[in-house]
Amino acid sequence: MNDGMLRELEERFLRYVRIDTQSDEASSSAPSTAKQLDLQRLLVKELEALNVRDVELTDYGCVLATLPATTENADVPTVALLAHVDTVPGFSGANVKPIVHRNYSGDPIVLPDDPTQVLSPDEVPDLTEKVGEDIVTASGTTLLGADNKAGVAIIMTTVDHLLNHPEILHGTIRIAFTPDEEIGRGVAHLTPEALAADVAYTLDGGPLGEITYESFSADKAIVRIQGVSIHPGTAKGKMVNALQLAATFATTLPQSARTPETTEGREGFIHLYRMHGTAAQAQLHYILRDFELEGLAAHGELIRSVANTLQAGEPRARIECEITPQYRNMRYWLEENMHPVEMAITAIKDSGIEPVIKPIRGGTDGSRLTELGLPTPNLFAGTHAAHGPKEWVSLQDMGKAVEVCVHLVTLWNHSVKSGNSNGNTARANEGPP
């Protein structure tokens, strides 16, 4: 990537992260917060200024657009590129002050608005590989929002580059910027039919070269506790404190083997991420994660078992447990058709990068789209330490992601549709591109 493109990428990214787009799980609207539309409307204007076609802001807050094909081969599959605009509800994304640490020296990075927040190479080994690059952080009191505005900036820069170079042959490209991914609703309203693509890729991954075709399977659990409310002055033998029961519930679950802070690799977890209420009533919100459906089911059974035990011990209370599916491991579908993954691996190698194939301890919009029939692996966007004040990204890594996107859409120009809309594409007769 030349210096001009890198500057453009940087300007876009810094512009986007300054816009607060935090989603809200408690909201039932679509999108869940109106402020996500501040960025979406900006993206519509920028896409229209680039003369991208079919630019649309849907009534559920998703931006869709089309980059027309430059190839004359009508059989080239339509490729979609996706990123989400919202940031996680659990940490502030308001008043983000991005800082570009030019030509990173390898020393610890102290975030100025909270000097206790330090990015140290001793604690963050990935930083040691970024000496000489341009590192972007927030100022210490907010997250940066690289998850997933890095992906948004990467896609927008890719679109701009392809429009300025019509000699690069590619098929039709669909663009989608989704809201509410962080609360599990990123593609709740976006159907594969509306996206109108044969294959898709989310730009929502981590370090350089990462490609993901295996994600967690995910459920959500809400435990609702109804206590017995009475004036504390006359409460003896009568009050049933819902908050006390909630605390007992949380501590009864195994803490050493089934929480995010005690698991890694292919280990699943049960994560209490929200608890609220009064002495009269309380709620505990959990996310359940596992790579295999059997493990996910076991997490749910444990939650129900603890609820039943607590209910039996205090029959005056009412304890209910609701478990709802969120998404499933994309591997279950992609392993039946690995061609989209193979194309991404080739594009990464063609960009001079060693592919890093690993399961993601999370999920993306691609997990749900793949389940719905549109194969959607996840590609790196360069993000590190997401969801907290130490989030950071290398601009050079983001630039490499743009290169990968360009290589990817040109590689698909050498493939031919098999004739079915679920993305089961086959290589051209001349062999692998």
Rounded distance between C-alpha atoms, residue 60 and residue 37, angstroms:
10
Mean pLDDT across the stretch 229-239? 94
Same structural domain, 208 and 222: no
Q: What distances in angstroms separate CA 35 from CA 30, 64, 265, 378, one per listed residue? A: 11, 18, 35, 26
DSSP 156-185: HHHHHHHHH-TTS----EEEEEES-GGGT-
DSSP secondary structure code for residue 228 in this structure: B
Q: What is the pLDDT of residue 425?
A: 41
Question: Residue 154 above 70 pLDDT?
Answer: yes
pLDDT digits (tens, 9 = 90+) for 26-35: 999 999 999 9
Q: Kindly provide the residue ranges of all beta strands, DSSP E only, lying in 53-165, ordered along the sequence.
A: 53-57, 63-67, 79-84, 99-101, 109-110, 118-119, 135-137
Checking 304-313 for CB contacts under 8 A at 24+ apart, the result is: 306/249, 306/252, 306/253, 307/223, 307/249, 309/252, 310/245, 310/248, 310/249, 310/252
The helix (H) or strand (E) run that includes residue 208 is none
Residue 136 backbone dihedrals phi, psi, to 5 degrees:
-110, 130
Cβ 40 vs Cβ 177: under 8 Å: yes
Same structural domain, 365 and 296: no
Question: Residue 241 above 60 pLDDT?
Answer: yes
Higher pLDDT: 430 or 237? It is 237
CB atoms within 10 A of CB 120: 12
User: Would you say residue 350 lies in a domain?
Assistant: yes
The catalytically annotated residue of 8, 147, 181, 219 is 181
Same structural domain, 147 and 288: no
User: Would you say residue 413 lies in a domain?
Assistant: yes
Question: Residue 432 above 50 pLDDT?
Answer: no
User: Would you say residue 24 lies in a domain?
Assistant: yes
Q: What is the pLDDT of residue 363?
A: 84
Mean pLDDT across the stretch 395-411? 98
Total domains in the fold of the chain: 2
State yes or no: is 350 an active-site residue: no
Task: Decide which of 311, 326, 341 is a domain's last residue.
Answer: 326
State yes or no: is 86 an active-site residue: yes
Mean pLDDT across the stretch 295-310? 96
Task: Decide which of 275, 295, 326 is a domain's last residue.
Answer: 326
Q: What is the pLDDT of residue 428?
A: 30
Residue 358 backbone dihedrals phi, psi, to 5 degrees:
-155, 150
What CATH number corresponds to the domain at position 230? 3.30.70.360
User: In the numeric block, which tokens belong to residue 171?
Assistant: 């098929």
Same structural domain, 129 and 265: no
Mean pLDDT across the stretch 285-307? 96
Q: What is the pLDDT of residue 414?
A: 85
User: Would you say residue 42 lies in a domain?
Assistant: yes
Cβ 174 vs Cβ 78: under 8 Å: yes
Same structural domain, 237 and 318: yes
Say which residue the tokens 């997250």 belong to: 143
What percent of the chain stands above pLDDT 90? 89
Q: What is the pLDDT of residue 416?
A: 61
Same structural domain, 289 and 200: no
Rounded distance between C-alpha atoms, residue 232 and residue 275, angstroms:
22
Triad 349, 169, 420: Cα angle to 5°: 85
Same structural domain, 368 and 406: yes
Q: Tell me the pLDDT of the chain averaged across its residues.
A: 93
Cβ 407 vs Cβ 170: under 8 Å: no
Mean pLDDT across the stretch 41-58? 98
Rounded distance between C-alpha atoms, residue 36 and residue 86, angstroms:
6
Question: Residue 433 above 90 pLDDT?
Answer: no
Cβ 225 vs Cβ 106: under 8 Å: no
Mean pLDDT across the stretch 150-155? 98
User: Would you say residue 433 lies in a domain?
Assistant: no
Q: What is the pLDDT of residue 343?
A: 97
Same structural domain, 359 and 383: yes
Same structural domain, 262 and 123: no
User: In the numeric block, which tokens belong to residue 184?
Assistant: 């599990």
Same structural domain, 249 and 336: no
User: In the numeric block, which tokens belong to residue 305?
Assistant: 């078992």
Mean pLDDT across the stretch 236-244? 96
The catalytically annotated residue of 8, 86, 214, 290 is 86
Question: Residue 293 above 60 pLDDT?
Answer: yes
pLDDT digits (tens, 9 = 90+) for 74-88: 999 999 999 999 999
Query: Which residues form the domain of 185?
Result: 3-215+329-427
Question: Residue 431 above 90 pLDDT?
Answer: no
pLDDT digits (tens, 9 = 90+) for 104-117: 999 999 999 999 99
Task: Decide which of 277, 310, 326 is a domain's last residue.
Answer: 326
User: Would you say residue 83 lies in a domain?
Assistant: yes
User: Would you say residue 248 lies in a domain?
Assistant: yes
Mean pLDDT across the stretch 214-236? 95
User: Would you say residue 432 lies in a domain?
Assistant: no
Burial (CB < 10 A; 0-12, 13-18, 19+), residue 210, is buried
Q: What distances in angstroms separate CA 242 from CA 236, 273, 306, 313, 427, one per listed residue? A: 15, 18, 15, 13, 60
What does the CA dihedral 221, 222, 225, 226 come to, rounded to 10 degrees?
Answer: -140
Triad 302, 277, 363: Cα angle to 5°: 50
Same structural domain, 333 and 312: no
Same structural domain, 296 and 251: yes
What CATH number corresponds to the domain at position 400? 3.40.630.10
